[in-house]
Every structure is written in C-alpha cells, then in structure tokens.
Amino acid sequence: MSPAAFAGDGFKLFKLGIFNNDTREIKSLLNSQVRYANRTNFDKFIATYDKNYVNSDGFNLETYSNLVRDVWQTYNNIEYGITIKDIDIQNDKATVTVTETSFAELPAPAKLDGVMMSEADSVYYLKKSDGDWKVASDKVISETTSLLYGAAKDLDIKLTAPQEIEAGKEYTASLEFTPPENVIAIASIASDKVEYPQNQPKEVFRKLPDDNILERIFISNSDNVNEYVVASIGLTKADINDLSIQLSLTGFGYKIVRVNVVPNNSKEINVKDR
C-alpha cells in the first residue's frame, strides 16, 4: 500500500470530525475541573460553570459554590477522578456522560482512622458561548458514597434502594453486612431530601438482625426533590473483666445512595433555586 493512501485516509478521517476541536475542548474542560478540584483551586473550578448554571437538584451556581466550599473546608485532601464515556455535540450544545470518583483519608475521631469513597454516574450539559464551553447543568444518575472508620472499613456493606422513584410512592431500602465475630452491630436507615444546607436525618438505631439484613420502607417526598438514603452503622466489642463489662467502639460509618424522584404529573416542573 502506498503511504499516500494512508495519508488520504487520514485526511478523510480528519474531515469527518474524528479530531473535532469541540470534542477536544470539552474533554479538556472536564479534565481541568478535576485538576482544579484536586488542587482546591476554587476560582478556576467555578469558572468552568456557566453563570446561569442550575443542576437537577435545583442548585444554582451560588448554592453549588457554597456547597463546594463546605466540602473542601471539611475534606481538604480529596482525590477526584473522571472517566468520560460519551460526548454528543449538537451545534453549540453538548451532552457528556461520565463516571466520577473521589477518595479521601478522614480525620481520626476516637482514634479510628477513616476513608471516604464515592462513585457517581452523571450527565453534563454544556453550552458554547463566546467561543468557550461551559457547564450549564448536570444530572447525577446514580451515586454511592461511603464514610467508614475503624473496623467498618473492612466490611462489605450493601445498601440498596431504587435508583429512581415516582414522587409520593412507597419504596424499600435494604442494608446488609456481616459484622466481625464477637462484635455487637447496630444500624439505622434514614432518608432525607437533597438540599442545601443538608439536614441531619433522624436516626433510629437497632441491633442488626440475625440474618444481617435491615430493611425500612419509605414514601418518597411529593415536593419533586431528589433524596438520599443514609445507612448508619456502629460496631462495639464487649470486654469482660472481674465481672464488669466494658463496651468499646471498634468502628462506625455511613453509606449513602441517591434516589432520584420523578414528578408524578406529566407537566414539566420548573426548577427552583433552593
């Protein structure tokens, strides 16, 4: 085959848009977000968003900015990652599907070191204005976060809930894990709306049943607001010495999953800032 034939084919691929400038710019934008986040460069990170940004949780840019500040002040060593799965460009708008991860080692309350791990499948909606791509909105399709301390880090914790539910409908959340031997395990499952600032859900702890499965039934809110299901666990060990029993905390943690609430009417719901 002649080298000229390869050159010709390469030119046709270029003309077909395989090396599209917009695709490169969008990838660069999203990767720069990760880079700025890992450096906690707040100004440059927020500059990647459109001034009229509103996400699927109803957070506008001001609210989202406050949320980012709070997270980075609480956890200043988070390592972020992103995998771009697909980019669909239509003129000056683009839809990008991604998988995002985060990890951090947590401060050690009660001398129990901890870790934070999160993974989310998301869709970014971008628009091009004045020659630059910006994030105009985004939607989290699925999200799981774990904050685990001490012996809880070694547990295989499964928290299941519907990824999507119609507003005002009943659904079941299930927590399952096998505690270490000779350990007393307590747990709770609660739900709360995704809002800012986030409320602390009311926890009702109970001993983990013998089958190691705890379930709870919820009714999704009728405010068309997405929800979190939060499982809290505690591990204690009993030490017996001279007929006295001393309980010591060996581990605790939280597992959180997102439940997206679908409006229960056919009319489009206007997104409100909260």
Name the residue type at position 89. Answer: I
State the residue for tokens 């986030």.
198
Of the candidates 188, 186, 181, 189, the one whose C-alpha atom is nearest the C-alpha of residue 208 is 186
Query: Residues 97, 121: contact at Cβ < 8 Å?
Result: yes
Spatial distance between the Cα atoms of 9 and 25, rounded to a whole number of angstroms: 24
Q: 110: which DSSP letter?
A: G
Spatial distance between the Cα atoms of 201 and 213, rounded to a whole number of angstroms: 20
Q: What is the pLDDT of residues 23-78, one digit of tens each?
A: 999 999 999 999 999 999 999 999 999 999 999 999 999 999 999 999 999 988 99
- State percent of the chain over pLDDT 90: 78
Ranges in the chain, pLDDT < 50: 1-18, 266-274
- Cα-based distances in Å from 118 to 26, 48, 75, 115, 253: 23, 22, 13, 10, 14
The whole-number pLDDT of residue 15 equals: 42
Q: Which residues contact 6 (CB under 8 A, 6 or more apart)?
A: none
Q: Which residues contact 199 (CB under 8 A, 6 or more apart)?
A: 192, 193
Spatial distance between the Cα atoms of 97 and 102, rounded to a whole number of angstroms: 17
